[in-house]
Copies of this chain bind each other. A is one copy, B any other.
């Protein structure tokens, strides 16, 4: 179906947005939300709602959502919890499609809050109005220059294939801040669902499954309302797109904490784990791993097989990579005789050609081009499915050294390898001088090569790419 017809389309691509609790005070969430839309360049209509203001940031203000002249697709609510049910009732009366409730103080806060949550749910029951949240940062869609977040966003947000579904508020904001300032991959959609009193992760997952801008889905969830439905949808979505899942509440202690966070009742972790395996979701341990893998999926293809090619600037790196390769379900590639011969020719007489490729002796033989040669060999060898390179970022004071390569050199080496074998995923571990690492990482990630600060994390990323290729096959077979 055309994307406009999807029931959730207007949540991510609203034509008109009302901010209930919009404020003239630059320090209030209700002000930042309006300012964010203006700075991002939101093209739809913006209706600030505030009975005590005429104008906010140059936009006409309305005393109530009921006074807004046109149709409203999304209403964002940031007023204190006790006033929220009334505002929701008004939104229903106005025929608002989606009410994103940022405010907290609901089920997560105890019996009083639970009552408020139930009260507002009553108002939307049987209507076309859906609630997102409460207790969330809500929606971000760079393509539509649209967000409901209260974290200040300075301008347009980098577009890309990664979408997030997160069951939390502030954490999503901080995660977003990290992604926008420290990461280099782009975002398709973010849906913060908070307490999930109405709109669920399953519905958003289904939506993102058909969203052409989304290439990989990263989820943080505490509880699942309908596990069977989640598995059903995940199986379908997984045919096209990898689903990464960080689910907390894995232990007794975590379960108790989850109950007082988003009020989620969580089932036993083993059950969830088995479900993930069955429907092909890739489970991660923390946000760091979630980002590590999302980046890999955003930037690289999935490999055709498990055979890992490794080039490392040091023997220790070769040994560690060999270990990690086995521990993470990949197989160390065996290089062809032709590949070994090419390496042997470039090596000093005392060194032996082998795999993993130790760059140290190769540097002695051919200088910085050792990187280029090793990558070319791994890219050309038909016995290699994926490539992990462990490279040194050195201060410019070492530019003369036979083993020095700068950001542009690396970019050239890796781009050539990709050209030779566009189907082989590459993950890169970068170590060394802090400033040099930043420069190399920036150059490589800017060009679509994911980098990691450790060999185990780089190989974990490739192993997840491989795991997904197997999952996809399995899901397709089962469907056929």
Contacts and interface: CB of A to CB of B under 8 A. Distances in A.
B313 A170 contact: yes
A110 B352 contact: yes
B398 A262 contact: no
Interface stretch (A16-24, A44-52, A251-259, A420-428): A251-259
Interface string A285-298: 11110000000000
A254 B319 contact: yes
Contacts of A351: 105, 109-110
A476 interface: no
A238 interface: no
A29 B322 CA distance: 29
A262 B26 CA distance: 62
B431 A356 contact: no
Given A112-B350, A152-B398, A350-B109, A432 B316 contact: no
Contact of A109 (B81, B252, B361): B361
Interface size classification for chain A? 35 or more
Nearest to A258: B319
Contacts of A433: 177-178, 181
A248 interface: yes
Nearest to A348: B105
Interface stretch (A325-333, A371-379, A410-418): A325-333
Given A168-B314, A285-B456, A431-B175, A81 B251 contact: no
A450 interface: no
Given A170-B360, A174-B392, A260-B354, A181 B104 contact: no
Contacts of A265: none
A314 B169 contact: yes
Contact of A253 (B322, B360, B456): B322
Given A178-B433, A360-B104, A437-B182, A260 B327 contact: no
Given A178-B433, A394-B177, A352 B320 contact: no
Nearest to A259: B319
Contact of A453 (B257, B288, B361): B288
A437 to B, nearest CB: 7
Contact of A286 (B166, B169, B320, B395): B320
A322 B105 contact: no
A108 interface: yes
A220 interface: yes
A315 interface: yes
A-B pairs with lowest CB-CB distance, top 8: A261-B315, A254-B323, A168-B316, A251-B326, A181-B434, A171-B316, A253-B322, A182-B434
Interface of A: 26-27, 81, 104-105, 108-110, 112-113, 152, 166-171, 174-175, 177-178, 181-182, 220, 222, 248-254, 256-258, 260-262, 285-288, 313-327, 332, 348, 350-352, 354, 356, 358, 360-361, 392, 394-395, 397-398, 400-401, 403, 431-435, 437, 453-457
11 contacts: A104-B361, A168-B314, A168-B316, A171-B313, A181-B435, A182-B434, A251-B322, A254-B323, A257-B315, A261-B318, A286-B456
Given A177-B431, A248-B320, A261-B315, 14 more contacts: A104-B361, A105-B350, A152-B397, A169-B360, A170-B313, A170-B403, A171-B316, A178-B432, A182-B434, A251-B322, A251-B325, A261-B319, A286-B320, A286-B454
